[in-house]
Amino acid sequence: MIVRPGQNWFRLLFVWNGSVLQSIIPQLIFMAIVSSLAVLTQGRIFGAKIPLNTAPFTLFGLALAIFLAFRNNASYERFNEARHLWGSLLISARALTSQMLCYVPRGEDRIRMAHALIACVYALKHQLRGTDPNPDLIRFLGRTRTEALQHACYKPAALLNELRRDFADLQVRAVVSETKLWMFDAQINELGRTIGGCERIASTPIPFAYSVLLHRTVYAYCVLLPFGLVDSTEFFTPLLCVFISYTLIALEAIASEVAEPFTLAPNALALDAMTRNIERSILELCGCDLPDEVVPVRPYQLT
């Protein structure tokens, strides 16, 4: 994720990193070519004049704008929910760690359980991104425990189950009471709900039919637009059409990018920084040395 400081209006005109412009340049070049051909042929295709004017584009553009707004709102709702879920993950991890440190006697291996909780958070990040979790799991679990998890399809859930088993074993040995076990169990359930919410977002994309319909409609509008404007705007047609196409195509691209909040895209959630933040928070409660923060990319240059 790219995080920017506040910038004035002039710098925003030339921002490159973090915008979707670099991903839609081929489409804009295509629109410039189509618009130029419309000007050169005076709006004719194979000698036949395309009978279009600005009136239908005004009405159709309004409907398209409403549809784009719906698509962007649906995408941002997914992004916002994902951010809230990771905030809940931080709160629950802190609460469980604090309870464990306060209610589990010092003789028990509390650091091992704290490391298992951190490993669970890292396992969730890698599961959502489809990346290899082993390097991070080995750091906190060791190679033997990590190899024992290789068969698990859902490693975060398996690690939560191990934590629940550890707390249940403490209660069986009368190290903690049933009331304290209930408190631990409530926090583990909350972590499980958060993990399940993230899995739901990752495994349930916006229906494909919406994306196809919006994609086709945007490009049909952009391709036909030069033939409706050429009689009134003449040589300014390519400039106007590329600008309008940039707005519509960019909105579609932003909606597609934001709808998948767990990817490595510039506008996705900063999961590396958020995961490290949870790690640092748990280790600080345990009195351990803290790793360096992961700072999201902050491109100050105009590139």
For residue 73, the model assigns a pLDDT of 93
Residue 1 above 70 pLDDT?
no
The average pLDDT across 226-240 equals 89
For residue 298, the model assigns a pLDDT of 54
The structure tokens 């003449």 sit at 234
Please choose, from the candidates 162, 198, 200, 212, the residue with its C-alpha nearest in 3D space to the C-alpha of residue 271.
Answer: 198
The average pLDDT across 126-132 equals 95
pLDDT band at 234 (very low <50, low <70, confident <90, very high): confident
For residue 61, the model assigns a pLDDT of 85
Instruction: Report percent pLDDT > 90 for the chain.
Output: 64
pLDDT tens readout for residues 181-207: 999 999 999 999 999 999 999 999 888
For residue 42, the model assigns a pLDDT of 85
For residue 300, the model assigns a pLDDT of 42
CA distances 136 to 35, 58, 157, 159, Å, are: 52, 54, 16, 14
For residue 113, the model assigns a pLDDT of 94
pLDDT tens readout for residues 238-277: 999 999 999 999 999 999 989 999 998 888 899 999 999 9
For 24-48, letters b (16+ CB in 10 Å) and e give beebbebbbebbbbbbeeebeeeee
Residue 303 above 60 pLDDT?
no
The average pLDDT across 167-180 equals 93
pLDDT tens readout for residues 282-294: 999 999 999 988 8
pLDDT tens readout for residues 35-58: 999 999 888 887 777 777 778 888
pLDDT tens readout for residues 77-118: 999 999 999 999 999 999 999 999 999 988 778 999 999 999
**Largest Cα–Cα separation, the chain:** 91
Instruction: Report percent pLDDT > 70 for the chain.
Output: 93
For residue 46, the model assigns a pLDDT of 75
Please choose, from the candidates 90, 98, 144, the residue with its C-alpha nearest in 3D space to the C-alpha of residue 120.
Answer: 90
Question: What's this model's pTM, rounded to 2 decimal places?
Answer: 0.87
Answer whether 234's CB lies under 8 Å from 38's CB: no
